[in-house]
Amino acid sequence: MTTPAERAAFLRAEIERHNHAYYVLDAPTIPDAEYDKLFRELQELEAAHPELATPDSPTQRVGGAPLPAFRQVAHAVPMLSLNNAFTAEEAEAFDRRCREALGVDDVDYACEPKFDGLAITLRYEHGLFVLGATRGDGFTGEDVTQNLRTVRNIPLRLTGSDVPAQLEVRGEVLMPRREFEKLNERQRAAGEKEFVNPRNAAAGSLRQLDPKITAQRPLRFFAYGVADASVFHPALTLHSALMDRLASWGIPVAAERAVVRGAAGLLAYYEKIAAARRTLSYDIDGVVYKVNRLADQEKLGYVSRAPRFAIAHKFPAEEATTTVLAIEVQVGRTGALTPVARLAPVFVGGVTVTNATLHNEDEVRRKDVRVGDTVIVRRAGDVIPEVVAVVPEKRRPGSAEFRLPARCPVCGSAVEKPEDEAIARCTGGLYCPAQRKQALMHFASRRALDIEGLGEKLVDQLVDAGLVETAADLYRLDLATLAGLERMGEKSARNLLAAIEKSKQTTLARFIYALGIRNVGEATAKDLARHFGSLEALLAADEAALQAVPEVGPVVASSIVRFFAEPHNREVIAALRAAGVSWEEGTPAVPSRAPLAGKTFVLTGTLPTLTREEAKALIEAAGGKVAGSVSKKTDYVVAGAEAGAKLAKAQELGIAILDENGLRRLIAS
Ligand code: IVH
């Protein structure tokens, strides 16, 4: 029979084996649920037999009791820094210095990514992890052993052969980019402060006094060396072999290590890693070159606080600070409003940046970016520069919170922002110059008014030359004007004119679709045409009446109402009809559940918002009939201001009397 002690030892070994496969080798060996089962069994076993709990048990990774403060740790071997090279010439000069000092023609270098995390040191005694500390000032750091135990890919016990009695591993703790993004999503959802970048997130997580919090933070460790390589003398002579040895004991090292020869080798490695930078799961800020022979390293030694045998070749910084000169609002082709920060020019990611996107209003609010603020700007690869965060200490007094304008900065139409959407949009779709080209292309497209030959190039020309502003202007174009355009002969001009002319005869569904109302696609346009039968009825419909159309929900209804509420759009629609765009008016389809089916209405007086025509269309669309005079057959009289004889008659006959609101309520019921 297995004793609890044997079972616990077995479970520990199993769990750590799976941990290593998952976190170090990136190759999971069992499903999460099974891993969790093993883990729980071990936890229960240790709870029942406290004497079995060991410091290298994987259960220690979930974090123990909070500390009052971190203990100071003196580093037996100081944690130094590296000199930097920023250019190819500086990297070549490093190689030259090494060759000259060693008196050789060629030097082999071990190359590694430069991890953009926090330097730490891990002490192992007889293979057991006993102490972990931060770099601090290089001579004294802080004891963060408890927290480091929770970092899943740090081995709590080294495995494999020839594990030395004493070993101090040096490396960096960092947070993978994807995990960083997920953490920030969680922070946002919980209403907590977000982290600026993975490095800060890793630093904040490592310096938590409550290790339970650290345990929930997805930290990773990579080793880049040892405190004292002489303990391996004479078995190991190369830094690269030393790293392989660390890996053999279960210590995570970068997969992107390489040994190269000479300056050309260094620069080729730099280029290769720079190109692969985005594909790594974690941030790096350059590469590190190290003379590979340990004996040569010793010969080269140190100058002040940095080794002569190694150098960091840095990538151009992806983050920099600058000030916000203004926040402008741009309107995109689809009417989306995007706040953009105008910045004092700053060199970042290898170029000078003067603008950075702020994405949308919510984002500006969340980051609370204000004019005059000092901000951190990021430009990673070819990505559009963005404002990452404000430096709050540098905010000047009297600055005001950013607000998106209520009117489109380009055309003055109302701006809409549905409650559960992040993007605010201009509602002047048919009219707004920013949306002009897109609106025209859509209007002329095959499933809309189908104007053959009116493609993107032509729309560009027409708009850029100021010949066309809205779709209605298309119907004013003449042969001479068109024939005068670039790449446009008289024949094509005639063809285009004919196509424009032909488009005048259309259907209501196509016309509705052609307007380019947000959320109204071809199918919805057809539903609307069928339901309302006429444009007047559609124009008069409020949200409730629109939602009576099957498939039309609150979002679509609201888009439609806002679109037609914009006077600019109505003007363009009127101009289109005046230009001769027409269709056969259908009779509205009366759905069986039509709210006014079988009811007869009489209209009298002036209604507050609806014209007589619109009210009639609305009633008919809801299945009702409109009669001219009041009789016993009348079900409702809809009365507005200055209603006269008809109202009196209705009162006399005891017929129900409604105002406009009453009518709308009835339709919506
Ligand atoms: S070797 C004597 N290798 O960069 C110092 N350092 O700027 C030997 N770093 O404090 C350091 N990646 O924390 C080395 N592959 C790498 C590294 C690396 C990141 C950090 C390290 C050091 C800092 C110096």
Q: What is the pLDDT of residues 447-477, one digit of tens each?
A: 999 999 999 999 999 999 999 999 999 999 9
Contact 210, 63 (CB under 8 A): yes
List all residues 6 or more positions away from 117 whose beta carbon is below 8 Å from its beta carbon. Answer: 172, 173, 174, 175, 198, 199, 202, 222, 282, 283
Beta strands 118-125 and 166-174: pairing type? Answer: antiparallel
Output the CA 64–ligand 1 centroid distance in Å.
Answer: 30
- The pLDDT of residue 31 is 85
Output the CA 101–ligand 1 centroid distance in Å.
Answer: 22
Tell whether the model's pLDDT for residue 538 goes beyond 90: yes
Nearest atom of ligand 1 to the alpha carbon of 84: 7
Which residue(s) pair with 259 in the sheet? 110
Closest CA to 130 of 171, 174, 168, 162: 168
Instruction: Count Cα neighbours of 192 within 13 Å in the Cβ-side half-sphere.
Output: 10
- The pLDDT of residue 69 is 86
Nearest atom of ligand 1 to the alpha carbon of 254: 15
Mutate to test the pocket of ligand 1, among 86, 111, 115 (most ligand atoms within 8 A of CB): 115
What span, in angstroms and rounded, lies between the C-alpha atoms of 658 and 661? 8
Which residue's CA is the closest to the ligand 1 atom numbered 12? 114
High-pLDDT (> 90) share of the chain, %: 71
Which residue's CA is the closest to the ligand 1 atom numbered 17? 114
Ramachandran angles phi, psi of 556, nearest 5°: -65, -45
Nearest atom of ligand 1 to the alpha carbon of 287: 15
Q: Name all residues whose Cβ lies below 6 A of ligand 1.
A: 80-82, 112, 114-115, 119, 172, 224-225, 288, 307, 310, 312
Q: Output DSSP code: residue 527.
A: H
**Tokens matching residue 66:** 């909070």
Q: Look at 16-25, 117-126, 566-575, 647-656 and tell me which has the smallest mean pLDDT.
A: 16-25
Q: Look at 64-68, 391-395, 506-510 and tell me which has the smallest mean pLDDT.
A: 64-68
Which residue's CA is the closest to the ligand 1 atom numbered 23? 81
Output the CA 26–ligand 1 centroid distance in Å.
Answer: 24
Q: Look at 419-423, 524-528, 540-544 and tell me which has the smallest mean pLDDT.
A: 419-423
What span, in angstroms and rounded, lies between the C-alpha atoms of 425 and 272? 43
State the pLDDT confidence band at 261, using cuts at 50, 70 and 90.
very high
Contact 549, 527 (CB under 8 A): yes
Q: Which of helix, strand or coil describes residue 561?
A: helix
Region label for 602, one of left (φ > 0), alpha (ψ between -120 and 50) or beta (otherwise) = beta
Which residue's CA is the closest to the ligand 1 atom numbered 2? 80
Nearest atom of ligand 1 to the alpha carbon of 119: 13
Which residue's CA is the closest to the ligand 1 atom numbered 3? 224
Average pLDDT (539-552) is: 90
Q: Clarify whether 649 is annotated catalytic.
A: no
Measured over the CA atoms of residue 464, residue 467, residue 472 and residue 475, the dihedral's sign is negative
Mutate to test the pocket of ligand 1, among 288, 289, 291, 311 (most ligand atoms within 8 A of CB): 288
Which residue(s) pair with 313 in the sheet? 85, 287
Nearest atom of ligand 1 to the alpha carbon of 81: 24
State the pLDDT confidence band at 589, using cuts at 50, 70 and 90.
low
Which residue's CA is the closest to the ligand 1 atom numbered 13? 119
- Mean pLDDT (the chain) is 92
Q: Look at 177-186, 263-272, 295-304, 660-669 and tell me which has the smallest mean pLDDT.
A: 660-669
- The pLDDT of residue 592 is 55
State the pLDDT confidence band at 54, using cuts at 50, 70 and 90.
confident
Segment holding 658, helix H or strand E? strand 656-658
Average pLDDT (391-405) is: 91
Neighbours of 41 (CB within 10 A): 15
Burial class of 658 by CB neighbour count within 10 A (0 to 12, 13 to 18, 19+): middle
Higher pLDDT, 514 or 22: 514
Nearest atom of ligand 1 to the alpha carbon of 172: 13
Contact 601, 652 (CB under 8 A): no
Output the CA 172–ligand 1 centroid distance in Å.
Answer: 8
Tell whether the model's pLDDT for residue 590 goes beyond 60: no
Output the CA 358–ligand 1 centroid distance in Å.
Answer: 34
State the pLDDT confidence band at 20, using cuts at 50, 70 and 90.
confident
Nearest atom of ligand 1 to the alpha carbon of 290: 1
Which one is catalytic: 37, 114, 394, 457?
Answer: 114
Tell whether the model's pLDDT for residue 585 goes beyond 80: no
Output the CA 236–ligand 1 centroid distance in Å.
Answer: 21
Which residue's CA is the closest to the ligand 1 atom numbered 22? 81
Neighbours of 342 (CB within 10 A): 14
Which residue's CA is the closest to the ligand 1 atom numbered 10? 81
Tell whether the model's pLDDT for residue 515 goes beyond 80: yes
Query: What Å distances lie between residue 242 and 117, 235, 541, 562, 662, CA to CA?
Result: 22, 10, 77, 69, 85
The 10s digit of each residue's pLDDT in 198-231 is 999 999 999 999 999 999 999 999 999 999 998 8
The 10s digit of each residue's pLDDT in 292-327 is 999 999 999 998 889 999 999 999 888 899 999 999
Contact 309, 321 (CB under 8 A): no
Q: Which of helix, strand or coil describes residue 556?
A: helix
Nearest atom of ligand 1 to the alpha carbon of 118: 13
List all residues 6 or more positions away from 518 whose beta carbon is below 8 Å from its beta carbon. Answer: 335, 425, 429, 559, 563
- The pLDDT of residue 622 is 85
The 10s digit of each residue's pLDDT in 88-114 is 999 999 999 999 999 999 999 999 999
Q: Look at 111-125, 175-189, 342-356, 579-593 and tell me which has the smallest mean pLDDT.
A: 579-593
Average pLDDT (558-587) is: 92
Which residue's CA is the closest to the ligand 1 atom numbered 1? 224
Measured over the CA atoms of residue 514, residue 519, residue 524 and residue 529, the dihedral's sign is negative
Average pLDDT (576-594) is: 80
State the pLDDT confidence band at 232, using cuts at 50, 70 and 90.
confident
Segment holding 105, helix H or strand E? none
Output the CA 200–ligand 1 centroid distance in Å.
Answer: 17
Segment holding 199, helix H or strand E? helix 198-206
Mutate to test the pocket of ligand 1, among 75, 79, 82, 221 (most ligand atoms within 8 A of CB): 82
Output the CA 262–ligand 1 centroid distance in Å.
Answer: 21
List all residues 6 or more positions away from 348 whose beta carbon is below 8 Å from its beta carbon. Answer: 316, 317, 318, 319, 320, 377, 378, 379, 385
Which residue's CA is the closest to the ligand 1 atom numbered 18? 114
Output the CA 564–ligand 1 centroid distance in Å.
Answer: 62
Segment holding 588, helix H or strand E? none
Tell whether the model's pLDDT for residue 517 goes beyond 90: yes
What span, in angstroms and rounded, lies between the C-alpha atoms of 50 and 58? 15
- The pLDDT of residue 129 is 96
Which residue's CA is the closest to the ligand 1 atom numbered 14? 224
Closest CA to 380 of 180, 188, 110, 221: 180
Tell whether the model's pLDDT for residue 625 goes beyond 90: no
Instruction: Walk across the sheet containing 258-261 and list its strands.
Output: 84-85, 310-314, 284-291, 108-115, 258-261
Mutate to test the pocket of ligand 1, among 114, 294, 311 (most ligand atoms within 8 A of CB): 114
Region label for 609, one of left (φ > 0), alpha (ψ between -120 and 50) or beta (otherwise) = alpha
The 10s digit of each residue's pLDDT in 151-169 is 999 999 999 999 999 999 9
Nearest atom of ligand 1 to the alpha carbon of 171: 13
Mutate to test the pocket of ligand 1, among 79, 122, 172, 221 (most ligand atoms within 8 A of CB): 172
Q: What is the DSSP string of 460-496?
A: HHHHHTTS-SSHHHHTT--HHHHHTSTT--HHHHHHH
Beta strands 220-226 and 84-85: pairing type? Answer: unpaired
Output the CA 311–ligand 1 centroid distance in Å.
Answer: 9
Output the CA 265–ligand 1 centroid distance in Å.
Answer: 20
Q: Which amino acid belongs to residue 463?
A: V
